């Protein structure tokens, strides 16, 4: 949509000198206030009357802010809300990534109609994530199809732009989209770590950015906002906002990496999306990870942020998660910012790190955006399923003797890095399991299917196409060989036999707090089922037949609390390890939920070694 006239009155603002200043920009980097305690906000927009709309995703709802009052959540019938834009009549166009359509919504939450359907034809989407309204057209980041879809606001298809790839006019996971003042399409091309600019007809005009953390480089940009003569980008994994000129010259970068979770007050943490007020004097940064929206005003040249930029406590601050695998000795965790797999020996009194596998960039074996990892002790193979590069990397480890652990950066050796059959959309795979005969099961959420691969990673079957709606995790039951599939779309847990036939379905609506945003799934040796839910910040334990046994956790950052728990595993001593992703740590419990340990890449706490103040532990 056309952005309001703004910022021109601010051009006299002094230069902000922290990063790069190619010219005197007007800045909106002064922290003013925030809304916290939201439920995973993903997008926001101002309406023309200055009211502010926040879209929450867990559970799905919208809030209307008429400053300073904020409405209670208004429930909306949306499976996985994503991007938002506002039409000229102040109606909302909200992407429902889970249902593969755009919901046209009145500001009271009433859905007026839906636009688009699931697929890859004209006017169809596969897990779209953002929309820009421009005149009577919608420009949609059709993320799962790696393209841009243009439609009329009546839903009539106009054109599709781009294919999957790294060339000009191609995309890998386009997450954000906007139209600039020169009528150009601007796209946050996340897995290419760049911004692409195209004409409204889809002709590539310019692009900039590549992976990295230096100013001007990008790590999985998630949104773009075009404001007059500048382009603002949420540089998500660099935890900052960067401003560029229309041709890609870096003007300013701010927000920077948070020293610790919950820091806020101008420090941003996994920024998802941006919005600007009608008068152009307030910028909103939406941070789903922090359940928060921060508001920024015009730059204050006299303000100096005296807070430290390095961790206040000793030890490596690692983002730690969100995916994990383990056997009776080794635990492997994906560290997204560093693009590293961290390998721990978890059988020591406190887990110790044996090595880290770093492999950056798009060269052979380079890591992108991991979806799953699998450690096979007998074969001495670590498989990393990489959505970003659509590759599967296989490493062997030169593990030390158990009684003589040592840290060795050279411990891992890349064996192979391979593309899968074109029939397997590796870039849409979100989880993987290895079957007893040595084959593979790969979960594709966007199409709700499980791809069955043989030991050579060749496709042999597909399961669940008529069963699954919005699956989010799979795991194998070691006792039965059954595959368990956690499905947010049907709020249930499906049990499939070794031929993929459904044998049971367990409804999960009755869980305490409901099933809101499930993220992890594991099975203990006795058949009990563990589920982590980032929406309720809880871990649930069920008997193998689905009877609820116990739940523990609440939102917070002291021990036994979680902030968006993610991967979950159970070791051979029935200890439950939960990746407490939002607190940058892992916590260990017994099956009843009794806290045993908290640990990260450079620290560990046990009941006999609690920090003096739990909140200091961060």
For other proteins, the binding residues (CB under 8 A) are: 358, 363-365, 394, 396, 409-410, 413-419
Cis check: omega of the bond before 68, within 30 degrees of 0: yes
Least spacing, CB of residue 386 vs other proteins, in Å: 12
CB nearer other proteins, residue 218 or residue 420: 420
Q: Could you give the residue ranges of the DSSP H alpha helices within 286-344?
A: none
Choose between 396 and 477: whose C-beta lies nearer to other proteins.
Answer: 396
> The sheet that has 101-105: what strands, in order across it?
81-86, 92-96, 101-105, 111-115
* Cα–Cα dist 145/180, whole Å: 23
Max Cα–Cα distance, the chain, nearest Å: 70
Q: Which residue, 387 or 559, has its beta carbon nearer to other proteins?
A: 387
Residue 99 neighbours by CB distance under 10 Å: 22
**Torsion of Cα atoms, 83 then 87 then 92 then 96, to 10°:** -40
Q: Nearer Cβ to other proteins, position 281 or 360?
A: 360
Closer of 153 and 417 to other proteins (Cβ) = 417
The string of DSSP codes covering 536-578 is TTEEEEE-TTS-EEEEE--BSSSTT-BSS---EEE-TT--EEE
497: three-class secondary structure by DSSP: coil
- Asked if 293 and 286 count as a contact pair (C-beta separation under 8 A), the reply is yes
- Name the minimum Å distance from CB 258 to other proteins: 22
Minimal distance in Å, beta carbon 457 to other proteins? 10
Sign of CA dihedral 181, 186, 188, 193: negative
Answer yes or no: are the C-beta atoms of 100 and 111 closer than 8 Å: no
Residue 252: which residues within 8 A CB-CB, separation 6 or more?
16, 19, 20, 21, 25, 27, 29, 242, 243
Nearer to other proteins, 37 or 410 (CB): 410
In the bound complex, what is the minimum distance in angstroms from residue 171's beta carbon to other proteins? Answer: 21
Distance CA 109, CA 197 (A): 33
CB of 600 to other proteins, least distance (A): 18
The answer to whether residues 132 and 179 touch, using CB atoms and an 8 Å cutoff, is yes
Nearer to other proteins, 68 or 363 (CB): 363
**What is the C-alpha separation between 383 and 431, in angstroms, rounded?**
12
What are the distances in angstroms from CA 399 to CA 225, 277, 354, 411? 48, 55, 8, 7
Let me know: does 397 contact 343? Beta carbons within 8 Å: yes
To the nearest whole angstrom, how small is the minimum distance from the Cβ of residue 372 to other proteins?
19
Minimum distance from residue 418 beta carbon to other proteins (Å) = 4
In DSSP terms, 147 is beta-bridged to 142
Torsion of CA 19, 22, 28, 29, to 10 degrees: 10
Shortest CB 426 distance to other proteins, Å: 12
Provide the 10 A C-beta neighbour count for residue 589: 22
Closer Cβ to other proteins, 411 or 443, answer by number: 411
Task: Kindly tell me which of 417 and 519 has the beta carbon lying closer to other proteins.
Answer: 417
Residue 414 or 558: which CB sits closer to other proteins? 414
307 or 413: CB nearest other proteins: 413
Least spacing, CB of residue 364 vs other proteins, in Å:
4
Q: Smallest gap, in angstroms, from Cβ of residue 422 to other proteins? A: 10
DSSP 169: T
CB of 7 to other proteins, least distance (A): 39
How many residues can be counted in the chain? 618
Q: How far is the CB of 48 from other proteins (least distance, A)?
A: 50
> Distance (Å, rounded) from C-alpha 496 to C-alpha 477?
10
Task: Give the residue with the Cβ less far from other proteins, 393 or 585.
Answer: 393
Measured on CA atoms in the order 77, 79, 84, 87, is the torsion positive or negative? negative
């Amino acid at each position: 949509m056309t952005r309001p006239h703004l910022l021109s009155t601010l051009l006299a603002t002094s230069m902000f000198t922290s990063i790069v200043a190619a010219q005197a920009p007007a800045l909106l980097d002064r922290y003013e206030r925030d809304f916290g305690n939201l439920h995973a906000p993903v997008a926001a927009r101002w309406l023309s009357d200055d009211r502010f709309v926040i879209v929450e995703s867990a559970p799905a709802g919208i809030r209307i802010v008429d400053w300073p009052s904020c409405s209670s959540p208004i429930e909306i019938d949306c499976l996985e809300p994503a991007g938002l834009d506002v039409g000229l009549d102040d109606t909302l166009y909200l992407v429902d990534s889970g249902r593969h359509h755009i919901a046209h919504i009145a500001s009271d939450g009433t859905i007026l109609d839906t636009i688009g359907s699931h697929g890859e034809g004209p006017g169809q989407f596969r897990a779209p994530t953002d929309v820009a309204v421009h005149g009577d057209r919608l420009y949609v980041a059709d993320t799962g199809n790696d393209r841009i879809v243009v439609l009329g606001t009546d839903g009539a298809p106009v054109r599709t732009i781009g294919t999957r790839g790294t060339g000009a006019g191609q995309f890998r996971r386009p997450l954000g989209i906007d139209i600039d003042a020169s009528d150009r399409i601007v796209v946050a091309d996340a897995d290419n770590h760049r911004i692409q600019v195209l004409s409204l007809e889809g002709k590539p005009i310019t692009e900039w950015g590549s992976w990295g953390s230096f100013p001007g480089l990008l790590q999985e940009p998630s949104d773009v906002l075009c404001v007059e003569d500048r382009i603002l980008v949420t540089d998500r994994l660099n935890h900052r906002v960067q401003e560029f000129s229309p041709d890609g010259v870096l003007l300013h970068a701010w927000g920077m990496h948070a020293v610790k979770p919950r820091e806020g007050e101008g420090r941003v943490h996994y920024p998802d999306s941006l919005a600007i007020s009608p008068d152009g004097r307030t910028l909103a940064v939406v941070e789903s990870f922090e359940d928060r929206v921060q508001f920024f005003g015009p730059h204050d040249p006299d303000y100096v942020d005296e807070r430290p930029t390095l961790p206040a406590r000793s030890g490596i601050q690692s983002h730690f998660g969100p995916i994990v695998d383990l056997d009776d000795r080794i635990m492997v965790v994906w560290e997204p910012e560093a693009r590293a797999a961290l390998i721990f020996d978890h059988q020591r009194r406190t887990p110790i790190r044996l090595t880290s596998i770093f492999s950056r960039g798009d060269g052979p074996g380079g890591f992108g955006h991991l979806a799953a990892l699998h450690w096979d002790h007998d074969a001495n193979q670590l498989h990393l399923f990489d959505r970003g590069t659509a590759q599967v990397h296989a490493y062997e480890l030169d593990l030390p003797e158990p009684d003589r652990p040592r840290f060795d950066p050279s411990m891992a050796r890349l064996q192979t890095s391979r593309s899968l059959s074109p029939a397997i959309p590796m870039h849409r795979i979100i989880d993987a399991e290895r079957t007893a005969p040595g084959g593979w099961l790969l979960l594709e959420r966007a199409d709700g299917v499980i791809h069955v691969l043989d030991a050579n990673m060749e496709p042999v079957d597909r399961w669940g196409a008529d069963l699954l709606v919005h699956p989010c995790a799979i795991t194998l039951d070691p006792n039965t060989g059954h595959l368990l599939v956690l499905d947010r779309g049907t709020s249930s847990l499906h049990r499939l036999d070794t031929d993929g036939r459904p044998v049971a379905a367990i409804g999960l609506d009755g869980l305490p707090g409901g099933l809101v945003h499930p993220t992890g799934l594991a099975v203990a040796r006795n058949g009990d089922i563990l589920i982590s839910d980032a929406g309720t910040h809880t871990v649930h334990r069920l008997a193998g037949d689905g009877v609820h046994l116990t739940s523990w956790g609440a939102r917070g950052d002291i021990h036994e609390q979680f902030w968006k728990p993610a991967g979950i595993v159970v070791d051979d001593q029935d200890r439950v390890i939960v990746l407490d992703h939002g607190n940058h740590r892992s916590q260990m419990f017994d099956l009843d939920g009794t806290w045993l340990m908290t640990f990260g890449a450079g620290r560990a706490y046990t009941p006999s070694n609690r920090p003096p103040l739990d909140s200091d532990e961060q």
